Amino acid sequence: MIKRKADFRKETRTEMRGGTGTVKFERVWERDTEMKSKARLFSKLILEPGVSIGWHVHENEEEIFLILEGRAKVSDNGREEILETGDTIITQSGEGHSVACYGDQTLVLLAAIVPY
C-alpha cells in the first residue's frame, strides 16, 4: 500500500502531556484502518521552537522517536540529553521520557508506539 504525504491526516495537541505549546501530528499510518499490526501510533510530530511534550511513563508498550530534522532536548528516565538529526530514543515499559524542541529550528520526529 502506498500513501502520499498529502494524504496524511493532520491534527494538533496543545500542552501535550503537560508540555508547552502545540504539537502538530501528521498521521503517516492510521491504527486499525490501515495498519494491521498492534502499533497504536506511527506519526510524524512537528514541534516549533518552545514546544514540548511533557514527562510521561509508558506501560506495556514502547515508544520510539527518530529525529528527522532539528534538535531535541529529551529526558530519558531523568537523564537529559540533546539529540540531533538521525539520533533515536526508545522508551520501554515502565520507563518515562519527555521531549522539547531545542534551538531555533523546527523539530521533526517520527514516532511509533508499539504495545507488548
User: pLDDT digit string (tens) for 72-100?
Assistant: 999 999 999 999 999 999 999 999 999 99
SS3 5: helix
CATH topology of domain 9-115: Jelly Rolls (2.60.120)
Confidence of residue 46 (pLDDT cuts 50, 70, 90): very high
Q: What is the mean pLDDT of residues 29-36?
A: 95
In this structure, what are the phi and psi dihedrals at residue 16, rounded to the nearest 5 degrees?
Answer: -60, 125
Query: Which percentage of the chain shows pLDDT scores above 70?
Result: 100
Cell of 34: 490501515
Q: Which amino acid is at 106?
A: T
The pLDDT mean for the chain works out to 97
**Cα distance between residue 35 and residue 27, in whole Å:** 11
Confidence of residue 59 (pLDDT cuts 50, 70, 90): very high
Confidence of residue 19 (pLDDT cuts 50, 70, 90): very high
**Cα distance between residue 33 and residue 29, in whole Å:** 9
B/e letters for 4-29, b = 16+ CB within 10 Å, e = fewer, are eeeeeeeeeeeebeebbbebbbbbbb
Q: Decide: 61 and 113 in contact? Cβ < 8 Å.
A: yes
